[in-house]
Amino acid sequence: MAKGILRAKAKAKGGNTVVKIMAKHAMETGNRKDKSGNKIAANYIQTLSVAYQGKTVMETNMGTAISKNPYLAFTFVGGAKGDELEMTWTEITGATATETAKIK
């Protein structure tokens, strides 16, 4: 399987799981102009949701103020080493994909 755009570090610790996710994405705001002065079309990740065993544990809506290569960190109760997280992202263009990561 081709590698996706998400990288995740998820660690089970004291009954909780700490999740850190980074996406490889330029997060074009639509406010920038190219060298010839034309606006560069907006293209950013709009939503990123994370599910653990079928239950959503985080849902993020993002705007233009999120940095290039967006980063998200959060903690949820539960989760065990070896379990899988499902991460689904959607771009403003409509492109979407689901990627997985294992809890360590």
Partner 1 sequence: MKIIKSMLVGASLALVASVSHAASSGNTLATVDPEADRLALQSYFQKRFPKVAVSDYVNGIYALDAPSREQWQEIEEFPPYEFDIEEGEELFNTAFANGKSYADCFANGGEGIRQNFPRWDEAQGQVVTLELAINQCRESNGEKALGWKKGKIAKISAYMASTSRDNVFDVQIPNDAAKAAYLDGKQSFYARRGQLNMSCASCHVAGANILIRADLPGPTLGHVTHFPVFRSKWGELGTLQRRYGGCQKNVRGTPQKTQGEKFRNLEFFQTYMSNGLVVNGPGARK
Partner 2 sequence: MMNRRSVLKAVFTGGLVAGLGVLMPRVALAAWSKAAFEAETQEAAMGALYEADPSASAEVTLKAPDIAENGAVVPISVKSSLAGVTSIAIFVANNPQPLAAQFTIPEGTLADVSCRIRMGKTSAVTAVVTTNSGSFSASKEVKVTIGGCGG
Picked from partner 2, partner 1, none, the partner binding residue 7 (CB below 5 to 8 A depending on kind) is partner 1
- Which lies closer to partner 1 via its Cβ, residue 31 or residue 94? 31
The site for partner 1 (CB under 8 A) is made up of 3, 7, 9, 20-22, 24, 68-69, 71, 73
Cα 92 to Cα 90: distance, rounded to the nearest angstrom: 7
Picked from partner 1, partner 2, none, the partner binding residue 16 (CB below 5 to 8 A depending on kind) is partner 2
- For β-strands 6-13 and 16-23, DSSP reports them as antiparallel
Cα 22 to Cα 44: distance, rounded to the nearest angstrom: 14
Site size for partner 2 (CB under 8 A): 35
Smallest distance, partner 1 to C-beta of residue 53, A: 24
Q: Are 76 and 57 in contact (CB under 8 A)?
A: yes
Q: Give residue 25's region: left, alpha or beta (phi > 0; psi -120 to 50).
A: beta
Which residues of the chain form contacts with partner 2 (CB under 8 A)? 16, 29, 31, 46-47, 55-68, 70-78, 90-96
